[in-house]
Amino acid sequence: MAEYTMILTEMQGRVAVIRLNRPKALNALCDQLMEELGQALRGYDADPGVAAIVITGSEKAFAAGADIKEMQSRTYPAVYLDDFIGKRWEAVTYVQKPVIAAVAGYALGGGCELAMMCDMIIAAETAKFGQPEINLGVIPGAGGTQRLTRAIGKAKAMDLVLTARMMDANEAERSGLVARIVPAADVVAEAVKIGEKIASLSAPAVAMAKEAVNRAFETTLAEGVKFERRAFQALFSTEDQKEGMAAFAEKRPPAFRNR
Ligand code: CO8
């Protein structure tokens, strides 16, 4: 197992939990933290013992954004040549297994963007979401203007991005950003429970379901529906489809074998 200094990792059954761990900086997402997160995500995605991944932070902050102190002196040529954001930040979007963000406290700027790159957000009652980059003389740079707008619509996205206003968990749930709200003490347990449910299902079906839903963000309705139909049809080539349907007919729980 790799040595990490800015994240903590543990397995809970077949669910991998990655905890962002820079408490003194409210989990500000510096380059090293993002490198470590990417490495952990790639490792878990390749590990057949892992069915789902949870990313969480601390009670006070999921992440208070990209590391402002690390960014402040950067120049355009430097961020351009380094592909700042691209390489390091998009690792989570390449993961085939479901990734669940368990958010307590602040999810601001790059922290909100990281949560939105995950497949689902479970929020503690204490969660606060925002894109306050405008206060710093910049704009969201890791997909915030795009993913937030698709998730909650133009009216609220403009409100947040132009004014730096934060949204609490209730507003985020009402607006469609968040799947569930739970008491702060339960946020990781709830996300792990979802991961465990996923672990009991057929991995090829889970991966295709995730890919198909994500396709809705990338393409037209007609293309998305066509993609879904092909994926649905392809699943008839799996043993798990035969098992799942036989188990239903025989009134017994299915025993999926991920093939
Ligand atoms: N970067 C660096 N350090 C931070 C950050 C951050 N984003 N957020 C907090 N910290 C540090 C503080 O500087 C402070 O450190 P120190 O004790 O050494 O002074 C420590 O964390 C605790 O913070 P506060 O004392 O400010 O704690 P409060 O409880 O008073 O306030 C807040 C909490 C409201 C969350 C406040 O810290 C805050 O406003 N933070 C900044 C939020 C922000 O602007 N986020 C957006 C950052 S820009 C961004 O994310 C761009 C994304 C672009 C894509 C990604 C590219 C890599």
Mean pLDDT of 139-160: 97
Q: Letter for the amino acid at 233? A: Q
| Rounded average pLDDT over 19-48 | 97
For residue 130, list its beta bridge partners: 108
Determine the pLDDT at residue 86: 78
pTM of the model: 0.96
User: Where residue 160 falls among pLDDT bands split at 50, 70, 90?
Assistant: very high
Predicted confidence (pLDDT) per residue in 66-118, tens digit: 999 999 999 999 989 888 777 789 999 999 999 999 999 999 999 999 999 99
Q: Is 252 exposed, middle or buried (0-12, 13-18, 19+ CB in 10 A)?
A: exposed
Query: Once rounded to an integer, what is the mean pLDDT over residues 139-158?
Result: 97
* Token pair in block for residue 44: 């878990």
Q: CA angle, 97 as apex, 95 and 98 as ends, to 5°?
A: 105
What is the structure's pLDDT at 170?
98
- To test the pocket of ligand 1, the residue of 33, 68, 136 to mutate (highest count of ligand atoms within 8 Å of its CB) is 68
Residue ranges lining ligand 1, Cβ < 6 Å: 25-26, 28, 64-69, 85, 89, 106, 108-110, 113, 132-133, 135-136, 140-142
Which atom of ligand 1 sits closest to the CA of residue 109? 50
Locus of tokens 């490495």: 39
Percentage of the chain modeled with pLDDT above 70: 100
Q: Stretch 230-238: mean pLDDT, rounded? A: 97
Distance 107 CA to ligand 1 centre (A): 10
Which atom in ligand 1 lies closest to the alpha carbon of residue 25?
Answer: 21
Q: Say which residues have a Cβ less than 8 Å from residue 205's Cβ, sequence separation at least 6.
A: 235, 238, 240, 241, 244
> Is 133 a residue of the active site?
yes
DSSP class of residue 124 equals E
Ligand 1: nearest atom to the Cα of 108: 45
Q: What is the DSSP string of 107-121?
A: EETHHHHHHHHSSEE
Share of the chain above pLDDT 90, in %: 94
pLDDT of residue 82: 85
Q: Is the pLDDT of residue 1 over 70?
A: no
Q: What is the pLDDT of residue 105?
A: 98
